[in-house]
């Protein structure tokens, strides 16, 4: 076994939440293995898309991986982050923590 395995992460914003009003500049996603956190940086897009392609996020020996995407947390919507994970052998990979990073204000 090995190679690239597809994955997807669905993030649903509750209908009553106003997360879209927060100045979130990135999401830091931690996994259950030894790999560094995946950082998804906010980049505005001309149109809202419910999905963000992360491409291949590497393996547990990869360094910090950064990707860009239109992170929008509109109430009642679901964003899908998808890509592939590289591994020489079969693994069980879980998301253990997602940290939204806010814009620093002075």
- Given a cut of 60, is residue 58 above it in pLDDT? yes
Segment 8-51, tens digit of pLDDT: 999 999 999 887 788 889 999 998 888 888 999 998 877 767 89
- Tens digit of pLDDT for each residue in 73-84? 889 989 999 999
Residue bearing the bigger pLDDT, 70 or 58:
70
Q: How much is the pLDDT for 8?
A: 93
Strand order in the sheet with 51-56: 3-12, 78-87, 51-56
pLDDT one-digit tens code per residue, 95-106 = 999 999 988 876
The long-range contacts involving 93-98, CB below 8 angstroms and separated by at least 24 positions, are 93/7, 93/31, 93/32, 93/33, 94/31, 94/32, 95/9, 95/29, 95/30, 95/31, 95/32, 96/30, 96/31, 96/32, 97/28, 97/29, 97/30, 98/11, 98/27, 98/28, 98/29, 98/30
User: pLDDT band at 1, cuts 50/70/90?
Assistant: low
């Amino acid at each position: 076994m090995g190679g690239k395995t597809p994955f997807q992460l669905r993030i649903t914003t509750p209908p009553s939440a106003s997360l879209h009003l927060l100045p979130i500049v990135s999401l830091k996603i931690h996994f259950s293995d030894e790999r560094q956190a995946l950082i998804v940086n906010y980049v505005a897009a001309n149109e809202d898309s419910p999905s963000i392609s992360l491409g291949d996020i590497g393996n547990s020996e990869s360094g910090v991986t950064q990707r860009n995407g239109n992170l929008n947390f509109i109430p009642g919507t679901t964003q899908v982050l998808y890509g592939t994970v590289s591994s020489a052998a079969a693994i069980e990979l879980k998301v253990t923590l997602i940290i939204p990073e806010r814009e620093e204000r002075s």
